[in-house]
Amino acid sequence: MRRIAVVVDGSADLPESLRAGGEIHVVPQILVVDGERLVEGKDITSEEIYEAVLAGVPVNIGHPPPDDFRVVYKKMRAHIEGIVTLTLSTTFNPTLISAQVAGITYPKLPTEVINSQQVSMGLGFVALAAARHAREGGNLEQVTRAAREAIPHVHTAFLPQDIRYPYRAGYLSRLTYLTHRALGHVPLLVMEKGHLVVREFGRGGDQGMERLVSWGRSRVGEAPVWAAIVHARAADLAERLAQQVRRTLHVRDVVVTTLTPIVGLRTGPGTVGLVLYEDASTSLIP
């Protein structure tokens, strides 16, 4: 049966086991490490990127060019009848534009390109929702609609452990930075309408985990959710957060995975994040 494929960029943080049996294809993100252009996941791992940051090596964010999307499209051409491509929010980098150019310049397959207004497993959950409809035989219009309808039901927040990183990334004014650094506070950063914004300040560590879970409950209440815990070299914190989420929220399942450097470079090694997708279905994750 010819079907619809779902394509995401590498910032989705989807482990291989969650790529829906082939319906989800990943175009890796690009990082520039000490002046060298590297493909994330192929030339360098996320862990190695965070190690480079801690060692003081300059790391900058790039983005995949249109050719990277076209290569993926060509490989799938004989087996599918259309593609839904989902990218991270345009506030992080111009991956969306590359995907749009690829769709226009490769007309052999009809392609819909969507700005998820998300990042990390926020994008990942939107992709999983689209892939579920593709798996059930949905056409291009139906899979596209499923992706768009999933977006407002995704809630994403990140908690850095070192306030210097979000300050350097431009999320804090100098006065705010100096005030909260003196208090030992770190910001809670929340995705809102495609933007990563500061919502509150408080302690990091285990107290920060409580803040993340409290924020999650304020967003979803008692609704059934799929949850993801993402982290940048903070596996122990991530596991403790996962346990707390299981105890506190009505979760279908909890996924723990590494945070994309697209976010982690802005928030710093040690960051943990909580992503919730409101969905009553029991069939999201294959």
DSSP string, 112-177: EEEE-S--THHHHHHHHHHHHHHHTT--HHHHHHHHHHHGGGEEEEEE-S-THHHHHTTSS-HHHH
**pLDDT tier at 19, thresholds 50, 70, 90:** confident
- CA–chain centroid gap for 110, Å, is 25
CB of 198 closer than 8 Å to CB of 188: yes
- Whole-model pTM: value is 0.95
Both 16 and 133 in one domain: the answer is yes
Both 33 and 97 in one domain: the answer is yes
Both 145 and 269 in one domain: the answer is no
CB of 6 closer than 8 Å to CB of 84: yes
Q: pLDDT for 27-76, tens place per residue?
A: 999 999 999 999 998 999 999 999 999 999 999 999 999 999 999 999 98
CB of 267 closer than 8 Å to CB of 157: no
Both 8 and 51 in one domain: the answer is yes
Name the least confident of 1-10, 158-167, 183-192, 193-202: 1-10
Looking at 120, 150, 180, which one is the last position of a domain?
Answer: 150
Both 237 and 133 in one domain: the answer is no
Q: CA nearest 14: which of 41, 54, 48, 39? A: 41
Q: What would the mean pLDDT of 151-169 be, rounded to a whole number?
A: 97
Burial class (CB in 10 A: 0-12, 13-18, 19+), 129: buried
Both 240 and 174 in one domain: the answer is yes
Query: Within a domain: residue 283?
Result: no
Sign of CA dihedral 190, 193, 197, 200: negative
CB of 209 closer than 8 Å to CB of 241: yes
Both 92 and 116 in one domain: the answer is yes
Both 171 and 271 in one domain: the answer is yes
Both 42 and 88 in one domain: the answer is yes
Query: Within a domain: residue 183?
Result: yes
Query: Within a domain: residue 193?
Result: yes
Both 221 and 163 in one domain: the answer is yes
Looking at 102, 119, 150, which one is the last position of a domain?
Answer: 150
**Where residue 254 sits, what CATH number does that domain have?**
3.30.1180.10
**Where residue 66 sits, what CATH number does that domain have?**
3.40.50.10170
Query: Within a domain: residue 263?
Result: yes
CB of 80 closer than 8 Å to CB of 5: yes
Query: How many domains is the chain partitioned into structurally?
Result: 2
Structural domain for 61, as ranges? 3-150
Both 163 and 228 in one domain: the answer is yes
In whole angstroms, give the CA distance from residue 125 to residue 118. 10
Q: What would the mean pLDDT of 18-25 be, rounded to a whole number?
A: 76
Q: pLDDT for 220-244, tens place per residue?
A: 999 999 999 999 999 999 999 999 9
- What's the token pair of residue 24? 């989800």
Both 38 and 168 in one domain: the answer is no
Query: Within a domain: residue 285?
Result: no
Q: What would the mean pLDDT of 22-30 be, rounded to a whole number?
A: 89
Query: Within a domain: residue 163?
Result: yes
Query: Within a domain: residue 217?
Result: yes
Residues 6+ apart with CB under 8 A from 241: 209, 212, 213, 229, 272, 274
Query: Within a domain: residue 239?
Result: yes
pLDDT value, residue 10: 95
Looking at 85, 115, 150, which one is the last position of a domain?
Answer: 150
